[in-house]
Amino acid sequence: MSVEKDTTHSGLGRSAARGGMIVLGGQGVRILVQVASVVVLSRLLTPRDYGLVAMVLAVVAVAEIFRDLGLSTAAVQAKVLTRAQQSNLWWLNTALGLGLALVAIAAAPLVAALYDEPALTALTAAMAGMFVLNGMAAQYRADLTRRLLFTRLAAAEVAAPLVALGIAAYAAANGAGYWALVVQQLVQGAVALALAGAFAGWLPGRPRRGVEMSGFLRFGWSLAGTQLINYAANNIDSVLIGTRLGAHSLGTYNRAWQLLMTPLGQLRNPTTTVALPVLSRIRDNPALTQRFVERGQVALGYSLGAGLGLVAGAAAPVCALFLGPGWDVAGVFALLACAGLFQTLAYVGYWVYLAHGLITELRHYTLVASALKVVCVLVGVRYGITGVAAGFAAAHLLEWPLSLWWISRRTQLRVGPLYLGAARILLVAAAVAVSAYATAQVLHGQHPAVTVPACAAAGAAAYALLLVVPPVRRDVRSLVVTVRGALRQKINRG
């Protein structure tokens, strides 16, 4: 019996390792497609084009939370999922998507009135189709995840944006304007649905009564509440810019966000997949938990944190290289990089909340952090989009130490070592940023294809020089050991 259990666990471990590598690989390709979309379409469309579409997304995309209602996550984590339950969930997600699409169409004139932009009536009605497509695809994606079919899932999630980018670029090059972005969203949803459905290999049966669904609905509704709070806080900047500063300003801000914050989230999110099961197993051992969280902070800070320092210092040539002329976003981009750095410092706390099952505490903290973010952005919007970005960065500067202190009140996690570790990460990021900025100033006027690599080299040199500081050297050594261990484990598992 024990041999059979060990064999099962070993096989599951190998599947998880392979799945993790596939997910990370697919995520890397998705980031490349995302960056390519910014690079290509920013040269074909205007800030106003992006601003109009961003206005619609900031308002109607909140319905995506209610469209899914946490049901896809509920399906993935369920111990038992019958085919009848799966079919009922598919019909429920689809019905929610269709209902919300009709609500969006009816509310389209209100969205246009909110921003005083008549063009948004047709835009909102057209983008309502996203709800139906995403609703139909939700349970197919959940099924692929549940069955650990990560290769198929990654293929669908990479192919859909790639096809959509090609069609959108063609439409934009032929004068479609902001409609090219609408086409991009709808094509991506349609291709993702077709591929996920084909890869899952099943069709839903008719909806049935008498099937136990209450557990899925309770779990989904609870999760949707926290997601709604996060959504409102994370999109207040777009709504305020759109209503107070107009489409051109929102489009400019949106390009900086899409170039930096979206890929950053795609890089950070898979770390939760790796950290959560480990922390869940060792949560009754405070010493091991402390060590894992400290190493996780080091791993994120000395990699992503240093990279964010580089792009903050080299913001002007980076924006010129990827966005081209006509996009005055370097200041916004640098401030968003600072916000991303502070977010990363607090990210390990999110792992602990989930691993210890502190969902209520997480919701309470999210409310406080969201209120802080809203206040900072409300103050900043009076100074334009740069003020909004500064408010966003200030909110996360205040939030990350609060996050660690908050979690220490409910666990045995010691925050002192984490604060000291964060200070060393900030030192490294600042040194990289200053070196990159000085290099960019010296090479001002040169082509960004020359300046950006030079800034990267200067940042790397500053990083290397800081290795003479013993605590920094110990952190980097710990990071190297962690990476080597992960690679060795991957090789051993085949």
Note the pLDDT tens digit of each residue in 317-339.
Answer: 999 988 887 788 899 999 999 99
- CA 381, distance to chain mean position in Å, is 23
Structure tokens at 390: 């500064």
87 found inside a domain? yes
173 found inside a domain? yes
pLDDT of residue 222: 61
96 found inside a domain? yes
388 found inside a domain? no
pLDDT of residue 284: 80
50 found inside a domain? yes
pLDDT in tens, the chain (494 residues): 443 444 444 444 444 445 445 555 666 777 788 888 888 888 888 888 988 988 888 777 666 666 666 677 667 666 677 888 888 888 888 888 888 889 889 989 998 998 888 999 999 999 888 889 988 988 888 888 777 677 787 788 889 999 999 999 999 999 999 899 999 999 999 999 999 999 988 888 887 777 776 766 666 566 566 666 767 667 778 888 888 888 888 888 988 888 888 888 877 876 765 666 667 677 788 888 888 888 888 888 888 899 999 999 999 999 998 888 778 889 999 999 999 999 888 888 888 887 777 777 877 888 888 888 889 999 999 999 999 999 999 999 998 888 888 888 888 888 889 899 999 999 999 999 999 999 999 998 899 999 999 999 999 999 999 999 999 888 888 777 766 655 454 444 44
Dihedral (CA of 45, 50, 52, 57) sign: positive
DSSP class of residue 204?
-
In angstroms, rounded to a whole number, what is the distance separating the alpha carbons of residues 43 and 322? 9
pLDDT of residue 452: 94
Structure tokens at 37: 């979309």
State which amino acid sits at residue 370.
S
State which amino acid sits at residue 183.
V
State which amino acid sits at residue 189.
G
383 found inside a domain? no
pLDDT of residue 172: 93
Burial string for 319-355 (b: 16+ CB within 10 Å, else e) reads bbbbbeeebebbbbbbbbbbbbbbbbbbbbbbbbbbb
What average pLDDT is seen over the chain?
Answer: 82
Burial string for 180-212 (b: 16+ CB within 10 Å, else e) reads bbbbbbbbbbbbbbbbbbebbeeebeeeeeeee
pLDDT of residue 15: 45
Residue 441 CB coordination number (10 Å): 11
330 found inside a domain? no
370 found inside a domain? no
Structure tokens at 336: 């968003």
Number of structural domains (the chain) is: 1
Domain limits for position 55: 1-204
